[in-house]
Amino acid sequence: MNFADTVAYFRHLGLELRPGAKFDLARIAALMAELGQPQQAWQSVHIAGTNGKGSVAAMVESALRSAGARTGLYTSPHLRRITERIRIAGEEIAPEAFAAAFTTVHGAIEGFLASGAWPYPPSFFETLTAAGFVAFRDANIEIGVVEVGMGGRLDATNILAPAAAAITALGLDHEKYLGATLAAIAGEKAGIMKPGLAVVTGLQPAEAAAVLRERAAAVGARLVPAAPLLGAPAADADGAFRFRSEYLDEVIEIRLRLPGRHQVENARVALRVCELLARQTGRPGAAAVVAGLEQARWPGRLEKLAAHPPVWADGAHNPLAARALRDFIAAMGWRPVLIYGSLRDKAIGEISELLFPLARHVILTRPESPRALSPSALAMQAAPAPVPVEPSENLAAALARARELAGATTPILITGSLYLVGEAQALLEPKQVARGCE
């Protein structure tokens, strides 16, 4: 298949999970066996969590690449292009390579369907995971850093036998599939633990931490704390932090490019994961870890897209992420014009209660997704706000209105949905002035 056919196939599979769909690892395991176990051709690192897992994965991959390793990075969701989810040696996979990997996977799927072994094809995420793992094998990577898609226990990525793993900060999200309590969600995330595996854990609520300890003891995994902080982190004018820690018994200092105090916690997890790998293989060393974490980027999370006025985008789609964003806004001393759009299955009341009072003006809009809520539906679900709130039917109109309200210097913040963030990138990148926190 060519790339266009490949994208069309994935569109047909659809992005939205079906309530009542059966989750297990049987199909992905059978598919991997039919494909020759591509996930065994490279060493792996497995990252689960509610928030921060993508940032941690990006940091670990960057550090390994700085140490000279040929890396793969598998993440989700994508913001604009499906190929964003698969990166090889720091670069988004080429369309031709993506289509070639999928063609291999598609042939195996068709064999299962033709034989009657499967009544229907694997899900979007199962199929994409298989293609990503085949692509990594075909590209001869040495080590792949793999982010869990959702949960962990029954996630398609959980066929890995990783050299190290991590579980980042846990909170409520995807309750329809993972459970309505922190304990239930922690149980699903803890499903990535395996006998003898060292699993780094970030800061956790007490209820979730207890479940992780119980699961580790039950399966014989080893919980490892994040790297220590030596002194208080210090913020720069763009909201990124400098901090000191220990790595392989050496004191190091890191200036993160990713903004927000929460990224210090993610970096502490990434440091410890890298240290576990270094004690097994000799790399990454301290210099590579410092360089890798300082260079790491993670698009769509506190990303600066324009300068005059400053326009930032952040995919704060659950309460835990909204709290991190709230803390960032407060630390920066902002009263932004806030553009907010959300999908229908999110905790809109809690998120709006956290964020709307910090704004000088809120504009409600609709992301380009069939799962998106209209501005009027958002208004009905949002908490009462002590600031003006108005609707706008699309992001382009919302952004034009926000610029009228913001003038030259007031920040504009686009948040609530990663779909909305992807749209913001598409609107602003052609004429951007600044990107990231440079």
- The CATH number linked to 94 is 3.40.1190.10
Same domain, 117 and 165: yes
What confidence tier does 23 reach under pLDDT thresholds 50, 70, 90? confident
For residues 372-388, average pLDDT: 95
Residue 20 has pLDDT above 60, yes or no: no
* Predicted local confidence at residue 156, as pLDDT: 96
* Predicted local confidence at residue 295, as pLDDT: 97
Same domain, 236 and 314: no
Same domain, 276 and 357: no
Residue type, 275: E
* Predicted local confidence at residue 21, as pLDDT: 56
- Stronger pLDDT, 177 or 102, i.e. the higher one: 102
* Predicted local confidence at residue 435, as pLDDT: 30
Quick check: is 377 in a domain? yes
Question: Would the pTM of this model clear 0.85, i.e. be above it?
Answer: yes
Going by C-beta distance under 8 Å and a sequence separation of 6 or more, which residues neighbour residue 425?
Answer: 79, 80, 299, 300, 303, 305, 313
- Computed on alpha carbons and rounded to an integer, the radius of gyration of the chain in Å comes to 21
Same domain, 249 and 116: yes
Looking at 262, 295, 328, which one is the last position of a domain? 295
For residues 267-291, average pLDDT: 97
Question: How many domains does the chain contain in total?
Answer: 2
Which structural domain range is residue 339 located in?
A: 303-431
* Predicted local confidence at residue 133, as pLDDT: 98
Q: Note the pLDDT tens digit of each residue in 417-436.
A: 999 999 999 999 754 333 33
Same domain, 218 and 328: no
Among 167-171, 188-192, 278-282, whose mean pLDDT is lowest? Answer: 167-171
* Predicted local confidence at residue 36, as pLDDT: 98
Quick check: is 158 in a domain? yes
* Predicted local confidence at residue 73, as pLDDT: 98
Specify whether the CB–CB gap between 95 and 83 falls below 8 A: yes
* Predicted local confidence at residue 437, as pLDDT: 27
Same domain, 285 and 307: no
CATH of the domain at 378: 3.90.190.20
Residue 129 has pLDDT above 80, yes or no: yes
Quick check: is 356 in a domain? yes
For residues 318-331, average pLDDT: 94
Same domain, 147 and 64: yes
* Predicted local confidence at residue 370, as pLDDT: 85
Same domain, 284 and 358: no
Looking at 279, 295, 311, which one is the last position of a domain? 295
Quick check: is 366 in a domain? yes
Same domain, 392 and 257: no
Same domain, 228 and 181: yes
Same domain, 149 and 213: yes
Looking at 295, 315, 340, which one is the last position of a domain? 295
Same domain, 196 and 268: yes
* Predicted local confidence at residue 176, as pLDDT: 63
